Structure formats: structure tokens, C-alpha cells
Amino acid sequence: EAGVTQFPSHSVIEKGQTVTLRCDPISGHDNLYWYRRVMGKEIKFLLHFVKESKQDESGMPNNRFLAERTGGTYSTLKVQPAELEDSGVYFCASSRRGRGETQYFGPGTRLLVL
């Protein structure tokens, strides 16, 4: 079984540009999560999809961040326009339907905004 995959693995952009991160969850996993770790700090929750619906987006920093999950499969996280403080590692995780299921994390996308 393939794990959670994320693309790209690294991205370096300039302030004001747009970046789109992609996450492919484990096949059959209805739950998909986005998290972010700013250097040296905790991994912070951004949002949670159940299939294509946003279940909880309480962690999204502001309206420069837009997450989508078309058809309940892969998900994208767009940052537009990017700011310096958006730099960090963006993790995607997925889990089976149901409460308390293990969340499986992808390797992350390392974003650097200059």
C-alpha cells in the first residue's frame, strides 16, 4: 500500500508569488488533513476534509490560504500571495473513515518564502 505522497518536496518562492502544494492520500482514506510546522515550533493543524467536504478549517491562518479536495481524492493547498511568515514544512495526513483512526503523514513540502 502506497503511503501519503506530497508534491513538491521543496519550493522556494518570492514574497507575493503563488504556490500550490499537492497531497495524494492513501487510497480509500476519506479523511485528509493539512498541518504546518514553522521551524522549531509545534506542528499546527490547518484543516480537515472528509471526502470533498471541509470538516474543520479552524486552523487556516487567513484568507491567503485556499484548500480544495476535488472529488474526494487528492487535495491542493494554495497560498496566494505568499508572505515571509508562510515559510515552513507543510504536512498532509490521511486516515480511514471513523473516529480515532491513525493519521498517516506524508513527507512534507518544505516551503521557503524569500
Partner 1 sequence: QQQVKQSPQSLIVQKGGIPIINCAYENTAFDYFPWYQQFPGKGPALLIAIRPDVSEKKEGRFTISFNKSAKQFSLHIMDSQPGDSATYFCAAKSFGNEKLTFGTGTRLTIIP
Residues at the site binding partner 1, with contacts judged by CB under 8 A: 4, 31, 33, 35, 40-45, 48, 55-56, 58-59, 91, 93, 95, 99-100, 102-108
Residues 3/106, Cβ–Cβ less than 8 Å: yes
Residue 21's Cβ-count burial label (10 Å; 0-12, 13-18, 19+) is: buried
Residues 8/71, Cβ–Cβ less than 8 Å: no
Using CA atoms, how far apart are residues 65 and 59, in angstroms rounded to an integer? 11
- For the bound state, the minimum distance from the C-beta of residue 41 to partner 1, rounded and expressed in Å, comes to 6
Q: How many residues does the chain have?
A: 114
Torsion-angle region of residue 61: left (phi > 0), alpha (psi -120 to 50) or beta?
Answer: alpha
- For the bound state, the minimum distance from the C-beta of residue 38 to partner 1, rounded and expressed in Å, comes to 10
Question: For partner 1, which is the closer residue by CB, 15 or 97?
Answer: 97
Question: For partner 1, which is the closer residue by CB, 35 or 65?
Answer: 35
- For the bound state, the minimum distance from the C-beta of residue 107 to partner 1, rounded and expressed in Å, comes to 5
- For the bound state, the minimum distance from the C-beta of residue 20 to partner 1, rounded and expressed in Å, comes to 19
Question: For partner 1, which is the closer residue by CB, 13 or 89?
Answer: 89
Question: For partner 1, which is the closer residue by CB, 18 or 85?
Answer: 85
Cα Rg, the chain, nearest whole Å: 13
